[in-house]
A and B are shown apart, each in its own frame.
Chain A
Amino acid sequence: MTNTIEILLAEDEEHIAKLVAFKLSKEGFAVTIARNGQEAIDRLREKPWKLFILDVMMPYKDGWQVLREIQASPELKAIPILMLTAKTYQKDMANAAELGATQFLKKPFDPTELATTVRRMTGAPQ
């Protein structure tokens, strides 16, 4: 039995995925990377993740399609979602909130800000 907080990251840009995994693992989180939207949906169903970090622009299924699938799934819709997006237009933020996104972080982001946000969203000690 472990107390490690497990996080699923859906991000196709490998340099961002590696950096997020590096930073959050240094903070004590266990990060699993999904490289596209479909893989993210498949991984989400594997276990009860504490947090789902979701990039908007991805191949196969983009972040919006993933959000809609999560909303339509009773077993997934309660998971907290942190959306990573290069564009935070008000209309997009409103759409994402309606689709169940809990929080936004604008790309490019400061890794320290990301870690702070993740700690807050997961209830990990600050």
Chain B
Amino acid sequence: MDWVSDPELKAMLDEFVASLPVRREKLSKLRKELMASQGPRQREAADEICRVSHALAGTAETYGFPLLTRISGALDDYLSESDEARSEPCPAARIAEFTGFLVEALGLAERGSDPAGLVKDPRFQALMDAAPGEPTSGA
């Protein structure tokens, strides 16, 4: 994909990058809600974080942000598939920690490039370790 010289693709890429602050702010707000609430409201916040992460995971790599897809995809997998994240009471502090990492990654990606340097961050490995195994590839 010629993201630079094709004006239509460049406009779509610019629109995607412009969507990143909106996603970041939404995740930040949900993270605060997660930490401030209890019971069903806390679980609702976690589920909404999962939905935002899922949407980002399915989009970012296609637009040239592979690490953003890995981080958001791992958070989606952790929240939707892991016994730990689905347990009661909701492990809010752990979810907030991972969500905060994604928020930071989005902040870096807003500059227009994949936050590749975060692969060396200890939080990246912690998130990968927490998420269930990679799904099989589609065909």
Contact = CB atoms under 8 A, between A and B. Distances in A.
Q: Do A and B come from one complex?
A: yes
A117 to B, nearest CB: 10
B62 A88 contact: no
Nearest to B76: A86
Contacts of A105: 138
Contact of B12 (A15, A103, A106): A15
Interface string A79-107: 00000111111100100000000011111
Interface residues of B, number: 26
B138 A106 contact: yes
B136 A89 contact: yes
B62 A16 contact: yes
Interface in B10-50: 12, 15-16, 19
Interface of A (DSSP majority class): mixed
A27 interface: no
A93 B51 CA distance: 20
B9 interface: yes
A19 interface: yes
A16 B19 CA distance: 12
Contact of B135 (A15, A18, A88): A88
A108 B59 contact: yes
Interface of A: 13, 15-16, 18-19, 22, 57, 84-90, 93, 103-112
Given A89-B136, A108-B59, A108-B69, 8 more contacts: A19-B62, A22-B12, A57-B51, A86-B58, A86-B73, A88-B138, A106-B135, A110-B62
